[in-house]
Amino acid sequence: MRLRNLKDKDILIDNCDYLIKEPTKLINNWKNEFNNNNPIHLEIGMGKGDFIYEMALNNPDINFVGIEKYTGVIARAIKKFPHKLANLRIINMDALNLDNVFNKEIETIYLNFSDPWPKKRNASRRLTSPIFLNIYENLFKKDKIIILKTDNLELFASSLINLSEFNYKFKDVNLDLANSDIVNVKTEYEKKFMAKGIKINYLVAIK
């Protein structure tokens, strides 16, 4: 469903004190932005921010960065969570440009309910396609950890294949997250899906 544009979108974005306006200037320098050496976790496609905001609240010793491509969506996240957390920053950008923002600084990447791009001709747009997995290679500090959640089995299957081909090993694979003992912070979409009884697929890939 298409989101209605917020009338105060530009005001929200211009005045948000945890939105990074020029992220490329922080490459190799994120520890100074956060003023510490804590691990940095990245959510790609943060949507309205439920997941990353709660993760930052619950994990003060981890720094979180959320990116979202669509300006209208990120404005809604700012409106929903107007107060700055010391360990949270957000960026309005396309994931294709991530290697201009981070260089061996990320410890974990979260991919929550990414667009499945179901048509075969659009498979390269999936956030676990080889194009994006190649970009992620240079973002990680040391070990590479990708945590994915999706309701879409086709995206989940293609992600398993692509991650395997990139030599990732699977620490966890689960086809019904709600009925597992995995500690889980839910996104807005996830709460709606679970209320309808839709099963959530989950994986942790490590390289």
Residues labelled as active-site residues: 115
The answer to whether 110 and 44 are in contact (CB under 8 A) is: yes
Q: How far apart are CA 90 and CA 88, in angstroms?
A: 7
Site of tokens 């990680």 = 140
- Beta-carbon contacts of residue 136 (< 8 Å; ≥ 6 apart): 98, 109, 144, 146
The answer to whether 193 and 200 are in contact (CB under 8 A) is: yes
The answer to whether 156 and 203 are in contact (CB under 8 A) is: yes
The answer to whether 158 and 18 are in contact (CB under 8 A) is: no
The answer to whether 153 and 201 are in contact (CB under 8 A) is: yes
The answer to whether 178 and 193 are in contact (CB under 8 A) is: no
- Beta-carbon contacts of residue 197 (< 8 Å; ≥ 6 apart): none
The answer to whether 186 and 50 are in contact (CB under 8 A) is: yes
